Structure 1
Amino acid sequence: MNTTAETTRPIDDVRLSRRLTAEFLGSAGLAAVVVGSGIAASELSPTDVGLQLLENAIATALGLAVLIVVFAPFGGAQFNPVVTLVDAVSRGRTWSDAAAYIPTQIAGCISGAVLANVMFAGPAVSISTTQRLTPATFLSEIVATTGLVLVIFLLARTERQSVIPWAVGAYIGAAYFFTSSTSFANPAITVGRMFSDTFAGIAPSSAPGFIGAQLLGATLAVLLLRWMGNPRSHP
């Protein structure tokens, strides 16, 4: 799926190796923004968790929007396995492309988390000990992922595709606060955040539950998208 209207040629016309490079760089950039801003927030506001979350959320929202704008013309700027899976289910992307995109996104997010650790003079890899999985955060990840997928694909069905990067950034920034899970909404970033025992990290024991919730959210979003259809086909 092309996430902006600014692309000058179909995504499928871009060589797969270049699309995968764009997905890797964008995914790495996303993880670096999420983890790096979390580390910076902890250092800048060590006694105020609310302010730490605000700083992390603002940096993530802005960074994600910029990364989508930059890399969308090359690979669609998905950076997220559930978005890629929904795109394949919706026949916007081939399953062979999806099979190549998903491991690239995961590798990119791991690399970005490692890069963030090193940029802040920490060990390259530090496995997170932050336990996040509870019934509330499981439900939150379903809600966060369903909402993210709907934002992307409903806007893609209209003539407002150019606002998708900013809408996605704004949604994720808001979801940091209206969900108890702080809205990971992305299996690749969930895996990447396991490799940083910092503010944004998640313990490996919590990650499978988060990923399961994200897949459930994506499934619910697919059902809603099919039910709602094309907005321009209705009076």
Structure 2
Amino acid sequence: MKSYLSEFIGTALLLAIVTGSGIMGETLGAGNAAVALLGNSIATGAGLYVLITLLGPISGAHFNPVVTLMFWKLGHLDLKKMLGYWVCQFSGAIAGIWLTHLMFSLSIIQESTKVRTGPGIWVSEFVSTLALLAVIRIGDKEAKDRVPMLVALTVTAGYWFTSSTFFANPAVALARSLTNTFVGIAPNDVFGFALFEVLAALVMLVLFCHSKRQS
């Protein structure tokens, strides 16, 4: 149960950090999107570093269904645990959004109107997910003690070099459709994000399986 609780709390706090820093950045930046994104990316990277460092020894600190899928395929956890992690990640992500709305005295139940769609955005999510999974996989093999830093820096950079701002996480995409704030995504656009995130994960799994056979 500790590992499930870790995934729920970690994912909830991640979404609270993403959403809260987006709200704060937009408010203090007085509508300047660059300032808002800067605050959003720094806070997300810093928060991820802390969460992965503290919760990694408990659950692996996945906070992401495609990361869990990768570790299941690699044999690090069984099917039952993977499904349990997915439940915790999706429910935790939504709880984190609602908690943030409560902290900022906003309506708890919302729906985003921010359009994020199109081939460029979808390719961006495909590349983002490939990059994230590759960093985690290679880091886990070659620099295990540096994985928190590697993931945090990858996500921080990803905010700025991708047109989609580096969601790379189906649970995050779904949850962010439930906030009509700076970090929101229109519900109709969630499917495109999730589809290309999952496709990227499948590509990585094929590559990992091929490399294992080669070795």
- Fold-level similarity (TM above 0.5): yes
Choose the corresponding residue for 1:219, options 194, 199, 202.
202
How far does the alpha carbon of each residue in 1:112-159 deviate from its partner, in whole angstroms, 9 at most, with x for none? 01111111111112111111011101000000001100000111112x
Question: Percentage identity across aligned positions?
Answer: 37
Partner residue of 2:130?
146
**SS of the residue aligned with 1:65?**
helix
RMSD: 1.3
Partner residue of 2:141?
157
Structure 1 runs of 4+ aligned residues shifted over 6 Å read: none
Choose the corresponding residue for 1:33, options 7, 17, 37.
17
CA contact (8 A) 1:193 1:201 kept: yes
What letter corresponds to residue 89 of structure 1 in structure 2? K
Partner residue of 1:65?
49
Partner residue of 2:70?
86
Instruction: Please give the residue correspondences for 1:69-218 in structure 2 after superposition, counting only pairs within 5 Å.
Output: 69-158=53-142, 160-218=143-201
What letter corresponds to residue 98 of structure 2 in structure 1? V
What letter corresponds to residue 191 of structure 2 in structure 1? P
Q: Output the CA distance in 2 between the equivalents of 1:224 and 1:42.
A: 40
Q: Output the CA distance in 2 between the equivalents of 1:223 and 1:63.
A: 31
Q: Output the CA distance in 2 between the equivalents of 1:186 and 1:29.
A: 15
Structure 2 segments unaligned to the other structure (5+ residues)? none
Q: When the two structures are superposed, what TM-score results if normalisation uses the length of structure 2? A: 0.96
Aligned residues: 214
What letter corresponds to residue 150 of structure 2 in structure 1? A
What letter corresponds to residue 94 of structure 1 in structure 2? D
Q: When the two structures are superposed, what TM-score results if normalisation uses the length of structure 1? A: 0.88
Q: Output the CA distance in 2 between the equivalents of 1:67 and 1:157.
A: 20
What letter corresponds to residue 155 of structure 1 in structure 2? G
Q: Output the CA distance in 1 between the equivalents of 2:31 and 2:173.
A: 25
Q: Higher helix share goes to which structure?
A: 2
